[in-house]
């Protein structure tokens, strides 16, 4: 049995950006601005991330705000002109936040998901906005030139020929999450892939936090709505996204990884930001995370 591919249109897929953390490692900047609004090369990190998605055809964004979330609201309320206009000032209240309809067909919803909520709680609180739709999930501090069309294509390729290293063509297992795996200098959690096919798709056998010099979760993920229902809902406290819910998805065999060998940086500290700006200078002033 082979499950057929389902065409995915980026314009119909919401991009959920986790932007509610405190960003304490940025010292004084994070006391007056949420980390996603700290500027890189003269523009907020959040805007760089969104520009990259807009360039690839995405037209709907759900911002999971928290710490200093009112500053993110304020940014979209006053910003409206430029190569990509994200707000025309016509604001509409929704159940979980402000919706910003746009001049160029881009819609942004800024949702207050709690001051100190962990990432699993933030995603769960957005369930009514996401609905029964496949969505992209990423963080408000990562820059990459990853081609999301390739990640989505790999997500659609149901792994009938990959099952823990052996063929099981009669028992296809669709992915609930396909993450983008990157391999920077070791500082983060690792993704161990049991097998890789010719398309660059791998079955994730385990998901572990912070080994050294390994493939890690780069934070650009395609997620099925079933993930929220199966791994975040329940009578118990909401599990954390990375160390509990995603670990369970990998354990149950429903996670895949697309290996990205291009540009990727995560900005946890001032040093990381300086490295990104150094990357831009070394690239002749061009942003290496921007796809042509």
Residue 213: count of CB within 10 angstroms of its CB: 11
Please report the pLDDT score of residue 64 as a whole number. Answer: 94
Residue 46 and residue 17 in contact, taking contact as beta carbons nearer than 8 Å: yes
Classify residue 21 as left (phi > 0), alpha (psi -120 to 50) or beta.
beta
For the cut 90, the answer to whether the pLDDT of residue 189 exceeds it is: no
- In a 13 Å sphere around the CA of 215, the CA atoms on its Cβ side amount to 18
Q: Please indicate whether residue 261 or residue 90 has the higher confidence score (pLDDT).
A: 261
Please report the pLDDT score of residue 52 as a whole number. Answer: 92
Please report the pLDDT score of residue 164 as a whole number. Answer: 42
For the cut 60, the answer to whether the pLDDT of residue 255 exceeds it is: yes
Query: Per mean pLDDT, which range of 90-94, 211-215, 285-289 is the poorest?
Result: 90-94
Q: Which percentage of the chain shows pLDDT scores above 70? A: 70
Q: Please indicate whether residue 198 or residue 236 has the higher confidence score (pLDDT).
A: 236
Please report the pLDDT score of residue 13 as a whole number. Answer: 95
DSSP 4: P
Domains of the chain from N-terminus onward: 11-142 (3.90.550.10), 146-262 (3.90.550.10)
Could you read off the pLDDT of 192-209 as tens digits, one per residue?
A: 666 666 566 677 766 666
Percent helix, strand and coil across the chain, each to the nearest 5: 30, 25, 45
Of the pLDDT bands very low, low, confident and very high (cuts 50, 70, 90), residue 7 is very low
Please report the pLDDT score of residue 179 as a whole number. Answer: 94
List the beta bridge partners of residue 182. Answer: 216
Q: Which percentage of the chain shows pLDDT scores above 90? A: 41
Residue 148's closest CA among 286, 11, 285, 287?
Answer: 11
Please report the pLDDT score of residue 160 as a whole number. Answer: 40
Could you read off the pLDDT of 175-187 as tens digits, one per residue?
A: 899 999 998 865 5
Please report the pLDDT score of residue 280 as a whole number. Answer: 93
What span, in angstroms and rounded, lies between the C-alpha atoms of 21 and 93?
Answer: 23
What span, in angstroms and rounded, lies between the C-alpha atoms of 263 and 98?
Answer: 33
What span, in angstroms and rounded, lies between the C-alpha atoms of 212 and 183?
Answer: 10
Please report the pLDDT score of residue 25 as a whole number. Answer: 64
Could you read off the pLDDT of 15-64 as tens digits, one per residue?
A: 999 998 876 666 666 568 899 999 998 889 999 999 899 889 999 999 99
Residue 194's closest CA among 171, 234, 167, 226?
Answer: 167
Alpha helices (runs of H) in the chain, residue ranges in sequence order: 29-32, 45-55, 69-78, 119-125, 127-130, 148-156, 226-231, 247-251, 270-282
Residue 22 and residue 67 in contact, taking contact as beta carbons nearer than 8 Å: yes
For the cut 50, the answer to whether the pLDDT of residue 1 exceeds it is: no
């Amino acid at each position: 049995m082979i499950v057929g591919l389902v065409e995915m249109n980026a314009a119909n897929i919401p991009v959920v950006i986790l932007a509610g953390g405190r960003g304490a490692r940025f010292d004084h900047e994070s006391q007056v601005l949420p980390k996603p609004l700290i500027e890189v090369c003269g523009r907020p990190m959040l805007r760089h991330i969104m520009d990259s998605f807009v360039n690839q055809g995405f037209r709907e964004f759900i911002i999971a705000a928290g710490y200093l979330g009112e500053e993110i609201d304020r940014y979209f309320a006053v910003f409206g002109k430029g190569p990509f206009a994200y707000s025309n000032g016509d604001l509409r209240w929704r159940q979980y936040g402000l919706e910003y309809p746009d001049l160029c067909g881009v819609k942004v919803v800024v949702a207050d998901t709690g001051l100190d909520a962990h990432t699993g709680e933030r995603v769960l609180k957005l369930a009514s906005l996401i609905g029964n739709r496949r969505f992209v999930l990423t963080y408000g501090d990562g820059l990459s030139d990853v081609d999301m069309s390739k990640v989505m294509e790999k997500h659609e390729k149901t792994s009938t020929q990959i099952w823990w290293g052996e063929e099981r063509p009669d028992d296809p297992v669709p992915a609930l999450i396909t993450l983008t795996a990157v391999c920077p200098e070791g500082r983060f959690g690792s993704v161990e892939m049991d097998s890789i096919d010719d398309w660059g798709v791998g079955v994730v056998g385990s998901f572990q936090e912070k080994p050294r010099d390994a493939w890690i979760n780069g934070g650009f993920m395609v997620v099925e709505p079933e993930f929220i229902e199966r791994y975040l809902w329940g009578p118990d406290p909401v599990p954390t996204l990375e160390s509990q819910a995603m670990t369970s998805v990998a354990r149950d065999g429903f996670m895949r990884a697309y290996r990205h060998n291009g540009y990727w940086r995560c900005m946890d500290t001032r040093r990381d930001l300086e490295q990104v700006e150094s990357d831009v200078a070394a690239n002749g002033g061009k942003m290496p995370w921007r796809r042509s």
